[in-house]
Structure 1
Amino acid sequence: MSSTIGLSTYSFFWQWHPTAVEPISLDTMLERTAAHGVTLFQICDYPLIESLDLAAVKATADRLGITLELGTRGIFEAHLTKYLDIAVALGASVVRSMFNTATHRPTLDEAVESLKSGISAYEAAGVTLALETYEQVPTPTVVAAVEAVNSPNLGICLDPANSVAALEHPRDTVERCAPYVKNIHVKDFSFTRKDGWVGFTLAGCPMGEGLLDYDHMIDTVRPAERGVNQIIEHWVPWQGDPQTTQQLEDRWTEHNLNYLRSRK
């Protein structure tokens, strides 16, 4: 097995975000991904996917030699089914999701019930559902849900940077989740003092320059051995104007691709 390095909508966040003077399309993101020599793209938290011509999106990805993954939020059975249908249409074998939406915050018991109801369709379709680690839900709760459902098609999308905001140490998050990881979101991060030295800002930074112990994560999870893909994301701070911010985003993409490729 092997681990593929991919990009995502979060690699181009400021370029398709409404703050952009001319937001780029999904086709443009796919074309730029191919131009980097990358063959995997995760369409993550991109609401427009629900209204696009999925056959046309898949045709573009196929033409460029790109495999697609999908990402959403929420674990209601109806929502999971909706995104499974989209995944199947796109030929995506991974759907990343999260416990909470803007209007629903399930308890552990509610989450387990929803996941048990929805996972059988994923099993039948051969699609994996990966629940992301993030600050709104304690990592032990995410792990407990995965363990309770006990399906080979349910696991964790590991992003240790997210859980720092809940005072979870990244190494602890990695080690607790390692047996269940089905997908990895890769981004480095650091704390910087705010103006006047009053408080800190937690934000992204280029790989290798922050607090993510990437080598520990890879040694613990063993993505190449287990076929777990690594998706590059960014937390690029706003630089004051769209053009400067987008240029920095592109520089981080190039840097992070080189960083990960050098460690394969």
Structure 2
Amino acid sequence: MLPIIFTFISFIGIAASSTGAVKYGELQWDPMALISNWDNRACRFFAAFSFALAALGVNISANSLSAANDLTALFPQYVNIRRGQLLCAVLSWALVPWKILASAESFLNFMSAYAVFLGPIAAIMVMDFWVIQQRKYDTLALYQPHSIYRYWHGFNWRAILAFVVGVAPNLPGFINSINANIKVGVGDHPYQFGWLIGFAATSLVYLAVSYAFPARETHIERAISPDEVYDEHGLVEGVAVDDEEGSGEYIEKKGLKGWADRML
């Protein structure tokens, strides 16, 4: 859905800025600068409030929680979700966000650079899940260090190779966007379509390498969901509950209580 969403949002931004240029005589790419031209205070308030709410929601859901999740996975004995969010709030100052937001040009450069790396990552995830593994993941094994997804010494070299190939065409334009004094000629054109080019190139390389050198240990017969529970006897459907005779039969807990037990 990302290409569709990106295209729609880009269209809205271009359309709003273009109409603002016709009405107010100045092309303003900053939405806050655009709504400052409105005479109605209520309109300005609700528009500014919607931007503030969107910024807060995006930073909590897409930045704070995701960073906390990654830090928790890397250092589970030291970091939990709350500590990870606090670390994100502190370390984010190192990115000097006030410089990124200083102008629309610097912000767009930052977002373009961001997409150069996101496109290849998205391609690997999509192709691996939908095509290579055919939607069959052992979800629990993904979080076990010595499972079928360990690949070669803990690295999937196919994904690394495909990522490098997807990022490489965009690097000249990326360097030029950081320092305009470095001339790259026509090398900046791929960067203008960074996400799409990275996604397409990485997809082709990852599929080709994965079919030529398949990781057969990761191909399983059926998907294993997080609701399935492991114990010392192997894979079990449901939760272990001892009956009156102590036979320890495994039965499926139903309702809200069963859902909470499976999730926790």
Indicate the TM-score class for this superposition, using the shorter chain for normalisation: under 0.3
Higher relative contact order (CA 8 A, sep 6+): 1
Whose strand fraction is larger, Structure 1's or Structure 2's? 1
TM-score norm. by structure 2 comes to 0.22
Whose helix fraction is larger, Structure 1's or Structure 2's? 2
